[in-house]
Amino acid sequence: MPGLLLGDEIPNFEADTTIGRIKFHDFLGNSWGILFSHPRDFTPVCTTELACAAKISNEFKKRGVKMIALSIDSVADHNSWSKDVMAVSKKADTDLPFPIIADDKRELSVLLGMLDPDEKDKDGMPLTARCVFVIGPDKKLKLSILYPATTGRNFDELLRVIDSLQLTAQKKVATPVDWKPGDKVMVIPSLSDAEAASLFPNGVTTEEVPSGKKYLRYTQI
Ligand code: BEZ
């Protein structure tokens, strides 16, 4: 099944959206981007996800990340559904702060490997899974996650991984389990101790482990 791998360039597809026809690379410009797919309009889990995404859209904006959703219905359906989403988001008087791609022919979902063969509509056609792509300013795929239709995503976790992606794109560090901005980060294994000492003026601490190997190296950025 076609799909995207980390490091692949995101296709410069054209699509109809709630803000008109777009070419994806032009939409992204030089920004980071996040594309998240939904099984269907007017479905319960999708509505809670989009309402959450709308509520915290300023957090994506602060990080310079352009948001765009995708669902396999028409622009007219998306526009009508958006009103429900904003009501659930408790901002009924405001427009959805990001566009939704209309993929009613499922062409993009096939191209991007987003379909879930186990989840079908009443006509037996597969629905889109809950796919997330985070795209860097170089248009390359930096993160991909794929949840089934029955499990909603955690958008705070998406902000957390974007913080990690943006930090690790700039510095030779990696972020450990449950890392949050401000926590210590880890020195990547390819750096020698001498290189680490010169790169990280706040110092590097090493956690002792039974093997005696000195690979758990932390620093504060
Ligand atoms: C939902 O968004 O609630 C949903 C959509 C398709 C299958 C299951 C749940």
**pLDDT score at 216:** 98
3-state secondary structure of 6: coil
**pLDDT score at 118:** 85
CB 39 near ligand 1, within 6 Å: yes
State the DSSP H helix or E strand holding residue 148, giving kind and residue range, or none if neither. none
**pLDDT score at 26:** 98
CB 44 near ligand 1, within 6 Å: yes
Our mutation pick for probing the ligand 1 site, out of 36, 37, 42, 43, counting the most ligand atoms within 8 A of Cβ, is 43
Our mutation pick for probing the ligand 1 site, out of 38, 42, 45, counting the most ligand atoms within 8 A of Cβ, is 45
**Phi and psi (nearest 5°) for 189?**
-60, -25
From the candidates 138, 156, 183, 193, give the one annotated as an active-site residue.
Answer: 138
The verdict on whether 46 is a catalytic residue reads yes
**pLDDT score at 18:** 98
Q: Which of 102, 54, 97, 39 is nearest to 76 (CA)?
A: 102
Distance of alpha carbon 78 from alpha carbon 85, whole angstroms: 10
**pLDDT score at 156:** 97
Query: Which residue lies with its CA nearest to atom 7 of ligand 1?
Result: 149
From the candidates 46, 52, 103, 116, give the one annotated as an active-site residue.
Answer: 46
User: What is the DSSP secondary-structure string of 165-218?
Assistant: HHHHHHSSEE--TT--TTS-EEE-TTS-HHHHHHH-TT-EEE---TT-----EE
**pLDDT score at 136:** 98
CB 79 near ligand 1, within 6 Å: no
Query: Which residue lies with its CA nearest to atom 9 of ligand 1?
Result: 150
One digit per residue, the tens of pLDDT, for the chain of length 221 reads: 467 999 999 999 999 999 999 999 999 999 999 999 999 999 999 999 999 999 999 999 999 999 999 999 999 999 999 999 999 999 999 999 999 999 999 999 999 999 988 888 899 999 999 999 999 999 999 999 999 999 999 999 999 999 999 999 999 999 999 999 999 999 999 999 999 999 999 999 999 999 999 999 999 99
Distance of alpha carbon 221 from alpha carbon 218, whole angstroms: 10
Contact between 145 and 153 under an 8 Å Cβ cutoff? The reply is yes
The verdict on whether 156 is a catalytic residue reads no
CB 48 near ligand 1, within 6 Å: no
- What would the two tokens of residue 26 be? 């032009």
